[in-house]
Homo-oligomer: A and B are copies of this chain.
Amino acid sequence: MKILVTNDDGIDSPGIHALVHALRTIGHVTVVAPDRQQSAVGHALTVSSPLRAIPFHRDGEMFGYAINGTPADCVKLGISSLLTAKPDLVVSGINHGANTSINILYSGTVSAATEAMMMGIPAIAVSLTSFSYDADMSGAADYATRIAQQMTSYNLPKGTLLNVNVPAIPAGLLKGMRFTQLSKSMWEDKYEKRYDPMEREYYWIRGTYHTIEADGNTDDGAVAEGYVSVTPIHYQLTDIHTLQSLRAL
């Protein structure tokens, strides 16, 4: 199995290291990842400036290509130009921080998987619900590997990817996997108004996450109960029901 791995925390993050280490046990892994942190970039693409692919070494060997772009750039550039063959699977992560509910719209991790899915390649996004640099990635890496192995048995439609969220608890305490839907959770935004050393005002976002309709059948709920949440995601964005009402006006 040929696997392309990317992320949005940057090619030197612990999450992608753990993921690559685990996936190498089941396939041939190529890494194409951003050269720096790209959180909250959403589905941004680099169109107005050139991209570079710089070999990145880790532990004395070639680890992958570092790209001065977004996660979606990495998938597009990797598959169209850097890889010698189309991958069988794209895995994005392991993200430091949950990508549940509405967060997938802002998530570079999920956007990389979306980009792969749009190219007709099975795709998985994997996130751990912890922002700690030292978080234990082993449980998330194990589950990502297991899901990658089982991918074909899921019979996913072409337009559907899997979004995986793993609770940040010791791997031994994970209760298993649960298929879920997105919760209706939302961010309440506040911007702190501050003053710089020149006395000019600036704003810095501080969001509060409110879990809404987040029972055990949802991603947020499953994770809270200690399960690895696996959500099938698609992008059928036309509101067909409303379209019918509008046409009848």
Contacts and interface: CB of A to CB of B under 8 A. Distances in A.
B45 A44 contact: no
A181 B233 CA distance: 19
Interface in A221-249: 230-240, 242-243, 245-247, 249
A242 B232 contact: yes
Interface of A: 37, 39-48, 50-53, 72, 76-77, 80-81, 102, 104-106, 111, 114, 118, 153-157, 159-160, 179-182, 186, 189-191, 193-194, 196, 200-205, 230-240, 242-243, 245-247, 249
Given A50-B194, A53-B201, 19 more contacts: A37-B48, A40-B44, A40-B47, A42-B45, A50-B203, A51-B203, A52-B202, A77-B203, A81-B191, A81-B193, A102-B118, A104-B237, A105-B114, A154-B249, A159-B239, A179-B247, A180-B243, A232-B239, A234-B238
B43 A106 contact: yes
A46 B77 contact: no
A39 to B, nearest CB: 7
Nearest to A193: B81
A230 B246 contact: yes
A170 to B, nearest CB: 26
B153 A249 contact: yes
Nearest to A53: B203
A80 B190 contact: yes
A236 B81 CA distance: 33
Contacts of A191: 51, 76-77, 80-81
Contact of A205 (B47, B114, B200, B202): B47
A240 to B, nearest CB: 7
Contacts of A242: 156-157, 160, 232, 234
A37 B47 CA distance: 12
A4 to B, nearest CB: 14
B235 A202 contact: no
A12 B31 CA distance: 40
Contacts of A243: 179-181, 231-232
Contact of A48 (B39, B153, B179, B230): B39
B232 A235 contact: no
Contact of A238 (B53, B118, B182, B190): B182
